[in-house]
Amino acid sequence: MNPRALGGAIAGGFAGALVFAGFIVLGLVLDDRVSSVAPVVILGLAGAYAGWLLGVVVFSAVRGGSDAQFDEEESP
């Protein structure tokens, strides 16, 4: 496994988990006000999706492009 891909997976996983946890915390705060579990479920699903999206973006940014693509761009 490429070290950049491993670093990207770790960074993306951490960023995604952080976003997911933030949405769950927001749902729990809102849960105290409305006396229903629905905000936790809805924000948990939204947080899972937002965390996945951010994780993919961070993974792609850290991993970068393929080495073959950079070699083609650098050649005159």
Domain range list for the chain: 3-74
Task: Write the pLDDT tens digit of every residue in 48-70.
Answer: 999 999 999 999 999 887 664 54
- What would the mean pLDDT of 13-29 be, rounded to a whole number? 94
Read off the pTM.
0.77
Task: Write the pLDDT tens digit of every residue in 31-49.
Answer: 888 888 898 999 999 999 9
Q: Is-contact 40 22, C-beta < 8 A?
A: no
Of residues 44 and 3, which shows the higher confidence score? 44
